[in-house]
Structure 1
Amino acid sequence: MERKNVSIGGQKLNKNTGISLQLFKVERYTGITSTELTYSTKQLTTYLSPETLLIGLLGIYSSYVQTVREKNFNYYFLLFDPREIADILNSNKNVENIMNMKNVVRDELAKVIGKHFSEELMIAEILVNVALQDEMVKNNLEKLSLMLVRIAHEGKTYKIYQIIPLTIVKRKFASKVLYDIINPDGFLLSRLSKRDNVEYNNLIMAINGLYRYVILNDQQGLFTMIRELHNAYHKVKSDEKSQKVAGQYRYLLTHVVPGLLNVP
């Protein structure tokens, strides 16, 4: 079978003048072409010029979020969804503003990843939606679509384990109040990180309710969250050793949560 080369960033690149990345062994596959061309039965090897590869590596570097070590190393990267890229290229959106927003998302995700919260992905999606509301309004954006990619190091190879879509949608809610509730360094998520806490199940249901409210725009989810926070408070306050925690719940319910109910 005849081999053909695909050159990116230069003319007639080959193994001596270009660089080929063996990702997923794609250089061995056939049929990666359009039906109008004559290469559907031929193996195509892609070669990149050093300049093109450098641009690609800079893009990967700018997308890096966090490294987490569990049984092995896991690396997280934040990328634009392909449809978002097409939309950016075919519109007059301010690319600098969008990149700044992506960096905000990256920083917020870095706060969550690695802390091993229960419902980590749900918390991450809520958090980035809450954190970016002001930016969405400022830049007149209705939606921003991203992907969180988790790559695991196994032996001598790196494998993509997860590709998680993250969609930030412009909503009308008290974003600053919500951020106080779900702050990665705050009281509520610190309680959620310990499965043996007496109110753990209530916090799981509260996070589910908050997800429905923020992501699905379901008002009932807000009331579910408030109800479960009340239930968590009543469980904790009956324990003499947990009076400090009970006080934190009481403050949350009397000083923070009411701010969510005043949104027109």
Structure 2
Amino acid sequence: MNVYWDEAGLKFAHVTPSILAIGDSWFWYPFPGGSLVSHLGPVVERKEHTILAKGMNGAEAFDYVDGKYKDEVTRALRLYGSSLSAVFISGGGNDFAGFNDMRPLLRLDCSTASTAADCFRSGDGGLSVFLERMDQYYRRLVGLIYTHTSLSCLIVMHSYDYAIPDGRGVFGGAGWLKPALVAAGVPDQLQRDCVRYLIDQFHQMLTTIASGDPEHLLVVDSRGALAESDWANELHPKGSGFRKIAKECWKPLLEQAELA
């Protein structure tokens, strides 16, 4: 095993992490089949890398720099930063998933919209402000990583995939996307397009950040990697879906970066 979820496991195994994975449920998904990090472990194992995961299910980008995981992320960087070859980041999905997060991004009434872009609010509280906020949190996290790691350390971000707003939650609960789309009156034929538009805008934000230091900032583009049957619910792939993304999207980039 080369993936650890706490320092106790590291100490017992007498190993030091070479990759820090800071993330949300895509890194921490607790159900059978594993998370994305579970399947990234074997990808980097041949290069003798050890991954330590920080964060938790439900984590938002804010949490890594100002919220509940700020202290443990900072502590991990202080302890292990000099030995890290890479930091993987998964954040932002929970910032727009959920009725209270998604609904404010949408217009009050989208029933007459003809495109996905028409459904999103502009100005204060709208999509552009949301993306500016995500940009700020990511840049602050990147800056924090820079200050605690060597010049050769790589930072790898990812853009999730086009989630399907079909109302499926966990254990039969309500989904995170469809309720807000329905409340906003988004026509059925535009609901998937709205999610695609949101993910595309998020991906563009990440690539803009990465363009500032393309030698050290990398973005895994996993959009469109999953088939409908690969999803367990509105936000999370099945274990086989995570494995597909790890092998088809992350592995080529990590091999190019000599991390796999």
Q: Which has the larger radius of gyration?
A: 1
Fold in common (TM above 0.5) = no
TM-score, normalised to structure 2, is: 0.23
Task: Answer 1 or 2: higher relative contact order, Cα 8 Å, separation at least 6.
Answer: 2
The structure that is strand-richer by fraction is 1
